[in-house]
Amino acid sequence: MELRKVGGIPSGDIRLPPSKSIMHRIIIAEFLSGRRDFTEYAGISDDISATAACVTALSRGGAQITLNCGESGSTLRFVLPLAAALGVNAKFTGSAGLLSRPIAALSGALTENGAEIKLSPDCILLSGRLRPGKYVLPGDESSQYFTGLLFALPLLDASSEIVSAGEVQSKPYIDITLDIMSRYGVNAMETANGYAADPQTYIAPMEKISAESDWSQAAFFLCASALGAKCTIHGLRTDSLQGDRAVLDILRRSGATVSELNGGITLTAERLNAVSFDASDIPDIVPPLAAALCVADGESVISGCSRLRHKESDRLKTVSEALSALGANIKISGDTLIIRGKPELSGGQANAAGDHRIAMMCAVASVKANGDVFIGGADCVSKSYPNFWSDWEGTEK
C-alpha cells in the first residue's frame, strides 16, 4: 500500500477529466447504436475502462461471456440489465468490494421479469431474457438501478414501466441518463411514480458526443480553493445536469466568492462559515465539502448520508475516520455528519481505505493542516482520476 506525502497546494489552471457519469452512459449508448470499437476509452480511468471492456465483450458474443466490472458499481448496475435484455448468458466478476455492494433489489426486479440470476460472493451468473412488464425498484438505494433499466427496456418488444417504491434519490443522475438516451434517438417518459419506455432503436448522432468536465472531481479543487489554493478550474458547465455542481452553491452559502472568467471558475474566501445541507442527491461531494467545513466557523451538519455507507468504502465511516486522523472534530450521528470547525488541522496519517474520494479528500484537508499529511493507499485515485496527484502537485503528466 502506497504511503504518500501530500505535496504542495494546487495552483494555476486545472483542466479536469471528462465526467465519469456521462462517459459511462455515452459508451453504453454508443454500443447500443452499433459501435464496436471502444479502445479510445481505455486509460481514462479504471471505472471507464471497465465499462468499455464489458461492452466490447458483449459485442464479441459467445456461449457465456465473462464481464469483469472491476470496482465499478456503475458498470455492474448498468450492464446487468442490459445483458439481460439482450438474452446473454454472462458471468459478472469484479473486486470483492464491488460484489458486496447492494444489487439484490435490481436482480430481484430482473428475475421477476424473465432473467435468471444467481448471486454469490465471487460472481453473478445471468441467463434468461427480460420480458416487458413492471419493474419495481427502491427509490432510496441507488439511482444506478434506474439508469441500467432505462437503457435496457427500449430493447424489449413491448412497453415497460419502472415503479419507484419511495422517492427517488440522486435523481440528477437519472436526468443525465435520459439526456444521453435522447441524443441517441431514444426517449423514456417520467411518470407519477417512475418511468415508462416503449420499444425503440438507438441511433448514433451525426456528430460524436463528448463529455463535459466532471463536477464531482472539480469539487475537490473548488473546496481547496475555498481554503486558500489559488487555482482556476476549466471545462465546467454551470448549466450542467450533473447534480454535483451544487458544490458551488454550498460553498457560496459558506462564504466563498465565485468568479467566472474566460471559461474558468475561481473561488476565494477569507474565512468559511458553517453550513448545513442534505446530501441525498449529491453523495459524491460530501468528502471534499466535509474537509472544507472542518475549518469553518461553527457547527456544520450534513444530513441524508445513508447511501455513503455503500460506496467503495463505508464512506460515512471513512470520511469521519480519515478527517479525525488529521485533527478534525467530526462525528457521526445516525446518517448525519456533524462537524465542529477549527482554525486549522494538525495533519498526520490517514488511510484512504481503498476509496478514491477519501484519498482526494485528504488532499483537500492538507491545505489547512499545520503539519504534513500522509495518505495510505493514495494510488486508489486511478479508479476515477488517474492524473489527480500530478494535477494537484503541478508535476509533469
For the chain, domain boundaries:
3-17+213-393, 20-197
Per-residue confidence (pLDDT) for residue 395, from 0 to 100: 52
Task: Single out the catalytic residue among 46, 47, 214, 284.
Answer: 284
E strand residue ranges, the chain: 3-5, 11-15, 65-68, 90-93, 115-119, 124-128, 134-138, 160-165, 188-191, 194-197, 230-234, 257-261, 264-268, 276-278, 299-303, 329-333, 336-340, 348-351, 373-376
CA 354 to chain centre: 15
- Say whether 20-197 and 3-17+213-393 share the same fold: yes
Which class in CATH covers the domain with range 3-17+213-393? alpha beta
| Contact between residue 235 and residue 15 where contact means Cβ atoms under 8 Å apart | yes
Query: Mean pLDDT of residues grouped by 10 in the chain (397 residues)?
Result: 88 93 97 92 93 96 93 97 97 94 95 97 96 96 96 98 94 97 97 97 93 96 96 94 97 96 91 97 97 98 95 96 98 97 97 97 97 96 95 69
| Contact between residue 129 and residue 84 where contact means Cβ atoms under 8 Å apart | yes
Selection from 209, 288, 196 nearest residue 246 by Cα = 288
Selection from 215, 343, 235 nearest residue 289 by Cα = 215
Cα 362 from Cα 281, distance rounded (Å): 23
| Contact between residue 78 and residue 147 where contact means Cβ atoms under 8 Å apart | yes
Residues whose CB falls within 8 Å of the CB of residue 215, separated by 6 or more in sequence, listed in order: 19, 236, 240, 242, 243, 244, 245, 247, 285
| Contact between residue 79 and residue 51 where contact means Cβ atoms under 8 Å apart | yes
E strand residue ranges, 243-368: 257-261, 264-268, 276-278, 299-303, 329-333, 336-340, 348-351
Per-residue confidence (pLDDT) for residue 397, from 0 to 100: 33
Helix (H) or strand (E) holding 290: helix 286-293
Per-residue confidence (pLDDT) for residue 396, from 0 to 100: 38
Cα 59 from Cα 53, distance rounded (Å): 10
Per-residue confidence (pLDDT) for residue 1, from 0 to 100: 66
Backbone angles phi, psi at 307, to 5 degrees: -75, -10
Per-residue confidence (pLDDT) for residue 375, from 0 to 100: 98
- The reply to whether 284 belongs to the active site is yes
Among the four given CATH numbers 1.10.1200.10, 3.65.10.10, 3.40.50.150, 3.40.50.300, the one describing domain 20-197: 3.65.10.10
